[in-house]
Amino acid sequence: MADKYVGQRVDRVDARDKVAGKALYSADYYLEDMLYIKVLRAPHPHALIKSIDVSRAREVPGVVRVITAADVPWVGNFGLIFKDQEVLVREKTRYMGDALAIVAAETEDIARRALEYIEVDYEPLPVISDPLQAMKKDAIYIHEPREESCEPGLNPGNLLCSHRLERGDLEQGMAEADLIVENEIRTPHVEHVALQPEAGVAKYDKESGVCTMWAATQWLHDIQADVAQSLQLNLEQVQIIQPAIGGAFGKREDVSVHIILALMAILTERPVKMEMTREELMITQNKRHPIIFRYKTGVKKDGTITAWEAEVIGDTGAYASTGSAVVHQALYLCTGPYNVPHLRGVSHTLYTNNTYSGAMRGFGATQAAFAYETQMDCIAAELDLDPLELRRKNAYELGSITPNGQVLTTSVGMGETLDRAAEVFGYEPGQRCRQVNGKLRGIGVASSMFGCGYGEGFPDHSIVDLEVSPAGKILIRSAAADVGQGVLTVISQIVAEVLDIPLDLIELAPGDTHTTRNAGSTSATRQTIFSGNAARIAAEELLGKIYHRASIELVRHHPQFLVQKGKVILQGTETRLSLAELARIAREKGDPLQAEGCYFPRTDSPDPATGQGELLYLAYTFNTHITEVEVDPETGLVRVLRVVAVPDVGRVINRTGVEGQSEGGTVMGLGMALMEKQVIEEGITLNADLSTYLIPTAMDMPEIKTEVVESGDAAGPFGAKGIGEPALLPAAPAIINAIYSATGIRFRHIPVTPDQLLTALQNKEQPEEGD
């Protein structure tokens, strides 16, 4: 019997408000008598600040407050993992987004004009924009050395951290190989381009000491904690209410306007608003990490992989953000979803004077997927093997061991994604370039894996609270941020499924640090598993409470009643009561009817010397793309014609949502493959607007067919696992591999732009790295 809601196509719970224009985003909020905030940013990406003179700015009519670091010496640093970022720079700028002064004025124009009157005297320092340069012992320090980050031979002031990975005997594996394939593969800075810029409003109640703000974030409670510790406040003094969120993709994991809003609301004792321009956002806020992969892989003639060696070098920019986790994740996934008995690797995360890098959809797994799928295609070409068959031969299955030593015991649909993709696409082994109307067509294959949740021993949990309203409706309280992926719809479906009630009897409380409890971040493809399981636990507990309390009330008035197929029947009257009616009866008498669901599983921390552990992630999502492209040899223009995407999601909760994630991830990968690159030279962002930073439009859309693999035995509710980030991973490498299939030209970097491809076609030679 099919489930009533789980696995079905259910409309998004927030769809009507968004379509009707009723949803309020951060920039939509207005508070009476509010001031407008603008920030003076760094004049140079690396410089000593000798003095900042704000006296003329303070004299501008309409300016209420101007501050520098000297005015708020008690304000502390912030950061997601390492607290290495200053709210206002004291002595030295490290990138162009550093804040030097903050202006609060009666209008936005006045605040903007006041910035022009601030004078900064500074001494430029050498700029480091290349992580390889940053590694050198004689390079200037961007940060003061930390003892725990020291690594022999590397610059202690620029090395954030190093990680290691080792399993088996690498030398033995290489000796067993018939062929060794070596490559250097690179990925660039990429901007998230969330539709909604960073913005927010805040107000301060002096009597209670509480600062309340409305500003989007992927993790309410973590941002609350960062604001509180930076401003020397108790957690209870910081209240963040979640507005509608216009996309995130990882950017909203970092603090943006939050600390500045709270600080200025407290100092001025008036409501304040801050909204970044697109240019300011692209210069100051985090990017996808550029990473250099150096791979050396041993294989036998039949395609069996025997050994894999990796060096991974990541540019975290001026500040750490999530860099230490992102770059080592790229290392830990260096072999992809393929069996490798012997491996060794090291990763280094470096500071530079570029815009800092942070979380972005895939969190290191995206860069790794492009690297290992490029390597796999190079191996197939060297051995003259079909690319799909090479992957199938080495693909994970039950009992396979990940690079970290985790034995896969459930939900391993990797092989099935390859088989289903080939079937749906109509893939024929050995397919090569063909010409159609003078244009070259090729087919590319790529697969990927992604560990759902924070994993690696990091505390990871979610709490969902349910309550029966006086009208018998179910109120869900969850702080899970719905950034467009539909987590609140998924939670609603799960609660409705367990309670067997219509979805219109479910209500959702807004995310609020004072009224909803910690659900963790909307990242790491974790919310379906974590908040989904928490919702199911809460719903099952509430179901028992409803039956228990309602039965007490019914016994008083109807001594004879029975429960039949989940319905209560009052004998003699033939009255059949639904759960909603029972909930109303239960709620009418006694205390409020509530239930809590907390999901808090444990994972292992990897051994720092080898990266090994028994259970690093609760589940892995696998995905395969087969893509056809068309290349115009006269212009170098690449058109993606069609994509078959086959993710292994364990169990579908919302079928429309899964397909939407798959299509959105595919298009994001198309942008990465063919056009997206944040160009930063000597610390200066050269394309900080959407006229020069290109993203796909409706004219670029291919035909996308998503076919889902369901094993039904993953760690999430009803056997589900996540899809948000894994939907992206194979997209870009499949496109680049298809370009090779069409042209015979191998690119080991992205994006591949028309001018690069045209030049390579004209020269018909392999391009240099980074061209």
Q: What percent of the chain has pLDDT over 90?
A: 89
Bridge partners, 561 (sequence order): 570
**Residue 14: DSSP 8-state:** T
Q: What is the pLDDT of residue 236?
A: 97
CA atoms of 634 and 438, how far apart (whole Å)? 9
Tens digits of per-residue pLDDT, 508-534? 999 999 999 999 999 999 999 999 999
Unique residue bearing structure tokens 């003892």: 147
Q: What is the pLDDT of residue 736?
A: 98
Question: What is the rounded radius of gyration, in angstroms, for the C-alpha atoms of the chain?
Answer: 27
* Close Cβ partners of 473 (under 8 Å, ≥ 6 residues apart): 505, 506, 507, 580, 583
* Kind of pairing between the strands at 342-351 and 434-436: unpaired
| Alpha carbon distances (Å) from 354 to 189, 265, 351, 375 | 10, 30, 8, 28
Q: Name which of 589, 652, 178 is nearest 379 in CA terms.
A: 178
Q: What is the pLDDT of residue 576?
A: 64
Between 562 and 382, the higher pLDDT residue: 382
Q: Name which of 532, 397, 392 is nearest 462 in CA terms.
A: 532
Q: Is residue 550 predicted with pLDDT exceeding 90?
A: no
Tens digits of per-residue pLDDT, 262-298? 999 999 999 999 999 999 999 999 999 999 999 999 9
Question: What is the side-by-side order of every strand in the sheet holding 92-93?
Answer: 92-93, 47-53, 119-124
Q: What is the pLDDT of residue 579?
A: 77
Average pLDDT over residues 42-68: 98
CA atoms of 240 and 469, how far apart (whole Å)? 24
Tens digits of per-residue pLDDT, 205-232? 999 999 999 999 999 999 999 999 999 9
pTM (predicted TM-score): 0.96
Helix, strand, coil share of the chain (percent; to 5): 30, 25, 45
CA atoms of 567 and 486, how far apart (whole Å)? 31
Q: What is the pLDDT of residue 1?
A: 44
Written as six digits, the tokens of 406 are 């985790």
8 A C-beta contact, residue 362 and residue 724: no
8 A C-beta contact, residue 462 and residue 468: no
Q: What is the pLDDT of residue 92?
A: 98
Q: How many other CB atoms are found less than 10 A from the CB of residue 410?
A: 16
8 A C-beta contact, residue 355 and residue 97: yes
CA atoms of 618 and 616, how far apart (whole Å)? 7
8 A C-beta contact, residue 347 and residue 313: yes
Phi, psi of 492 (to 5 degrees): -65, -40
| Alpha carbon distances (Å) from 329 to 324, 326, 490 | 9, 5, 27
Q: Is residue 110 predicted with pLDDT exceeding 60?
A: yes
Q: Which of 124-138, 414-428, 547-561 has the lowest mean pLDDT?
A: 547-561
SS3 561: strand
Give the pLDDT band of residue 441 (cuts 50, 70, 90).
Answer: very high
Q: Is residue 147 predicted with pLDDT exceeding 90?
A: no
SS3 767: coil
8 A C-beta contact, residue 728 and residue 431: no
Average pLDDT over residues 647-664: 97
Give the pLDDT band of residue 469 (cuts 50, 70, 90).
Answer: confident
Give the pLDDT band of residue 584 (cuts 50, 70, 90).
Answer: confident
Q: What is the pLDDT of residue 2?
A: 63
Q: Which of 24-33, 558-567, 638-647 has the lowest mean pLDDT?
A: 558-567
Q: Is residue 307 predicted with pLDDT exceeding 80?
A: yes
Q: Which residues of 90-122 are buried (b: 16+ CB within 10 A; e: fewer)?
A: eebbbbbbbbbbbbbbbeeebbebbbebbebeb
SS3 63: strand
CA atoms of 675 and 499, how far apart (whole Å)? 47
Give the pLDDT band of residue 133 (cuts 50, 70, 90).
Answer: very high
Between 66 and 148, the higher pLDDT residue: 66
Q: What is the pLDDT of residue 586?
A: 76
In whole numbers, what is the pLDDT of the chain averaged over residues? 94
Q: What is the pLDDT of residue 765?
A: 60
8 A C-beta contact, residue 97 and residue 41: yes
Q: How many CA atoms are closer than 13 Å to the CA of 427, on its beta-carbon side?
A: 28
Written as six digits, the tokens of 49 are 């600040």
Q: What is the pLDDT of residue 666?
A: 98
Q: Is residue 332 predicted with pLDDT exceeding 90?
A: yes
CA atoms of 370 and 379, how far apart (whole Å)? 14
Q: Which helix (H) or strand (E) holds 488?
A: helix 487-499
Tens digits of per-residue pLDDT, 238-258? 999 999 999 999 999 999 999
Q: Is residue 547 predicted with pLDDT exceeding 90?
A: no
Average pLDDT over residues 603-627: 97
| Alpha carbon distances (Å) from 108 to 204, 274, 453, 464 | 20, 9, 40, 39
8 A C-beta contact, residue 694 and residue 637: no
Give the pLDDT band of residue 30 (cuts 50, 70, 90).
Answer: very high
SS3 731: helix
Q: Which helix (H) or strand (E) holds 669?
A: helix 655-674
CA atoms of 238 and 92, how far apart (whole Å)? 29
Q: What is the pLDDT of residue 770?
A: 47
8 A C-beta contact, residue 41 and residue 283: yes
| Alpha carbon distances (Å) from 29 to 26, 240, 243 | 6, 14, 9
CA atoms of 314 and 188, how far apart (whole Å)? 10
* Close Cβ partners of 350 (under 8 Å, ≥ 6 residues apart): 131, 134, 135, 158, 159, 160, 313, 314, 315, 316
Tens digits of per-residue pLDDT, 334-377? 999 999 999 999 999 999 999 999 999 999 999 999 999 999 99
Give the pLDDT band of residue 771 (cuts 50, 70, 90).
Answer: very low
* Close Cβ partners of 229 (under 8 Å, ≥ 6 residues apart): 76, 78, 83
Q: What is the pLDDT of residue 363?
A: 97
Phi, psi of 266 (to 5 degrees): -70, -45
CA atoms of 127 and 142, how far apart (whole Å)? 9
